[in-house]
Structure 1
Amino acid sequence: MTALHEPAQAGSPHAFPCPPLRLVDHLAQRTAALVAEVVTRICAEVDFYRSLPAETVKTDVTRIVRRNFEIMLRVLRTGEPPSDDDLADLIASAGNRADEQVPLSDVLDAYHVGARHWWATIAGLAQDGTRFAEGDLVRIGDLHYAWLRAATRAVIAGYDADDLGRPSEPRPGRSELLAALIDGGRYREVAARFHLTVEPEYWAVAVAVEPNPDETDAMVSSTVAAARKVRRLQRQFDGLGRGEALYSLTAGGGIALLPVRPAPHAESTTAPPDAAELDDRLRQLGERMAARTTCAVDLVRADEVAEVVPQLRDLLSIAQRQSSHRPVVRFADLAVEFQLSRPTRASRLSAARLDPIADDAVLWQTLRCYLDNACSTATTAQELHVHPNTVTYRLRKVSDLTGLNLGNPADVLTALGAVLAATPRPDSAGCQRADLYGHSTE
């Protein structure tokens, strides 16, 4: 990385005598308070920061304010301008804000808010009776300015990808390779063109990410919240794929291919050595994303990707419509449901069996919950927060209207196929809705 400052040398304008160490120690002891005060001021005084998600303020904004405070203290302590490593942190943070479309002027304004507050704190010590040697405040001001000047240049560099030599696509060729694999095209030619390797096998993952509270807050910028989710999701899959993952992701989810590379000389088994680890980490994905996630997973050869990925998307859709959330599903988990959901010439006729209850959200959801819970009246009643007798009454009404005997295994399969074949209703995303089911229809 090109240095954003000149090295400090004796006699150069960038080298300053150090201020009294007691001052630096005094400021360091107040780090938590001074950082918190600046974060509060930034959110109050800089327009765009008022719309940032609370989590972003608590984590990213607070972290970079603290990092700047630490850098400033080091400059005051040593008399040296910020190092390239220091500035790399500021550049990376500014790049994230650029990705989130935060105006550059607002980011610079935030830095100046912090600089003004910290200088006011230092100047206030003199007004409160702290004695500085002649010229100390001038030297401290020069050092303070050296930090702010370097930090300002780092922010501008973080917003200007061309000056940093940062490519517009951080993973050159991988999106093209993923597209070729999914389309069933000449993926080996694409890989060769970009000097990439096509692995014999991949974990194919279709992932759905539900909105988090920040995205539904009218005071929060939806652009910032979405960009943050995408970046976090990319980081998670980069970790899962050890930096070699192929993915196409949005704030709502997408598709990822994770290379499977068994350890050398490992005995061949049905499941690769990292299968259990993969499942565990995918189950933790929602916690790390601060939003509920659902993943449909399958092990595929490179030449199977084009066939399996569309089926994984269908499996994911079925899993999302289940009343009980499963963070990770495979075809074996929902085999019957998946087979019954396959579109055939009979699908329309199958779905038509439920036309008599199509406009009754309560009966529709009760039937779906009942089928999702292995036809257990007690479990269905528990999830719907109603009495088991209410569930029995509703199911009897379904039977009367549709002619399906839900005590007959064959009719249960017919009902399940009809539910899966029918177009999802607006209220059919889940069955735990107290407003719909908190009262009896008896």
Structure 2
Amino acid sequence: MTDHNRIVFGGMPLHLRLGSQLPELTAFVIKRLVDGLDVYNRLPAEELSGDVARIIEQAIRLFLGVLRTGTLPDSAELAIVRESAARRAEEGLPIDAVIGAYHLGAQACFEFVEPEVQPDELGSVFEAHRLLFNYLRLTTGAVAAGYLSERQSMFGDEHGARQALLATLLDGGRSADVAGTRLPPSYFVVSLSIGKHPDETIAGVDPGVAGRRKLRRLRTELDRRSREPVLSMLSADGGLALIPHHTAPASVSLEDWSRLEALAAALSKAAGAPVVAGVVATEPAGVPDAARLAGEVREVAMIYAKPPGIYRLADLLLEYQLTRPSPARDHLASLLAPVAGKPDLLPTLRVFLDTGLNRRQTATQLRVHPNTVDYRLRKIAGLTGLQVARHEDLLSIRAALSALDATKVHG
């Protein structure tokens, strides 16, 4: 039996030499992956320093155990490799790049210590390579198994059943036979708009990978906060989710709505991007109409630049009504037509309203003198006949602004 403490590089057992410089070795391997594999070169920095660095360190530790004992990893130890490969599959990395990373990483480990090898240590080099080939044989198999298993599960029976049920509900179907399960009393139908994660806008980073990572985190959070499986049809910029609920729509409580608001905040945090959503509670048969209304509510929230969160129709009644074409909406929008083309007046009016009619805060935000704010407000009054100091005019001004914003989007 080989004494693996005699696999010596530079006068020290190889497992001790590599283990003593594990952080530096991990960084060295990451650099080799970024330089040698284009897929890894386009990964977000967050992933390289997080998941990728962790699995590299774990893989190195597994190989150090092989060098120390001469024994290959068992199934429990290889589970780490399988789980990491499953995450890469979910993120859409090609399998050849995932497997290639292990081989390139192994090569990098030997490059790291190669300059220290002495002429009389060639026997150690051959023995270390023999162990490495056996180690790679096992880890490559574990990577392939974990990767393919995840890909199959992504498009497997459960996924298919959920998508079939979602399609049936959106088509107005009431039967749950397609899913083999009983429908809940109601659904929260949620139409989502998902902003970009910062990694999606960084030059040199693959936006597709960054978007899929964002979407994976969002889906995980969505499922984690629901008692029953969530039906969803999502992409990197938004989509639709049906969240099962245990009471009829008429019995939805304020506490239930509060939980949805907390969910929206959690989704934004998990995605690392702003999430704006429209939501409607409905019985299963009402899902098609609820999906349309939820989408319209979400669109209204986006038109009026509402902050990230979840919105019901009751939250946006005026704004929603003003987005529906009508003579009244057109008349309201026309009230501000005289100032619509003036570069300073309309922005000043918006800021003045947003600051609660505070001229000094308005001046600070616009970086002008308060007297300039007063002058512009007088100019607006002269052109439109509407004065912000009159309560009845103030209501008309707010409605006119909302109508004007709506006409810019819908015409």
Interval of TM-score (by shorter of Structure 1 and Structure 2): 0.7 to 0.9
Q: Give the direction of change, closer, same or farther, for the CA distance of 1:276–1:396 in structure 2 (3 Å limit).
A: same
Alignment of 1:192-341 (within 5 A): 192-242=177-227, 244-261=229-246, 270-272=253-255, 276-322=258-304, 325-341=307-323
CA distance in 2 between partners of 1:124 and 1:259 (Å): 61
CA distance in 2 between partners of 1:408 and 1:90 (Å): 69
CA distance in 2 between partners of 1:423 and 1:333 (Å): 17
Other structure's SS at 1:171 match: helix
Query: Aligned AA for 2:253?
Result: T
- Contact conserved, 1:337 with 1:416, CA < 8 A, in 2? no
1:51 to partner: Cα distance: 2.0
Other structure's SS at 2:294 match: helix
Alignment of 1:18-417 (within 5 A): 19-20=4-5, 23-98=14-89, 100-121=91-112, 126-127=117-118, 137-157=125-145, 160=148, 165-168=152-155, 171-183=159-171, 185-186=172-173, 188-189=174-175, 191-242=176-227, 244-261=229-246, 270-272=253-255, 276-322=258-304, 325-417=307-399
Q: Give the direction of change, closer, same or farther, for the CA distance of 1:325–1:193 in structure 2 (3 Å limit).
A: closer
CA distance in 2 between partners of 1:385 and 1:334 (Å): 31
Identity %: 33
Q: Give the direction of change, closer, same or farther, for the CA distance of 1:94–1:400 in structure 2 (3 Å limit).
A: farther
Q: Give the direction of change, closer, same or farther, for the CA distance of 1:91–1:366 in structure 2 (3 Å limit).
A: farther
Task: For residues 126-152 of structure 1, give each alpha carbon's deviation from its aligned partner in whole angstroms, at most 9, with x where no partner exists.
Answer: 43x9x97x9655443322222222222
Other structure's SS at 1:148 match: helix
CA distance in 2 between partners of 1:345 and 1:318 (Å): 19
- Contact conserved, 2:261 with 2:309, CA < 8 A, in 1? no
Uncovered stretches (5+) of structure 1, i.e. residues with no partner:
1-15, 263-267, 428-442
Uncovered stretches (5+) of structure 2, i.e. residues with no partner:
7-12
TM-score of the aligned structures, taking structure 1 as reference length: 0.75
CA distance in 2 between partners of 1:318 and 1:387 (Å): 34
Task: For residues 245-290 of structure 1, give each alpha carbon's deviation from its aligned partner in whole angstroms, at most 9, with x where no partner exists.
Answer: 122212112222222348xxxxx87235x65454334324333322
Query: Aligned AA for 1:420?
Result: S
Other structure's SS at 1:72 match: helix
CA distance in 2 between partners of 1:56 and 1:212 (Å): 13
For these two proteins, the number of residue pairs brought into alignment is 399
- Contact conserved, 1:161 with 1:168, CA < 8 A, in 2? no
- Contact conserved, 1:322 with 1:372, CA < 8 A, in 2? no
C-alpha RMSD over aligned residues: 3.7
Greater Cα offset, 226-235 or 413-422: 413-422
Greater Cα offset, 205-214 or 136-145: 136-145
Q: Give the direction of change, closer, same or farther, for the CA distance of 1:85–1:278 in structure 2 (3 Å limit).
A: farther
- Contact conserved, 1:294 with 1:326, CA < 8 A, in 2? yes
Query: Aligned AA for 2:106?
Result: A
1:333 to partner: Cα distance: 4.1
TM-score of the aligned structures, taking structure 2 as reference length: 0.80
- Contact conserved, 2:35 with 2:41, CA < 8 A, in 1? yes
Between Structure 1 and Structure 2, which shows a larger proportion of helix residues? 2
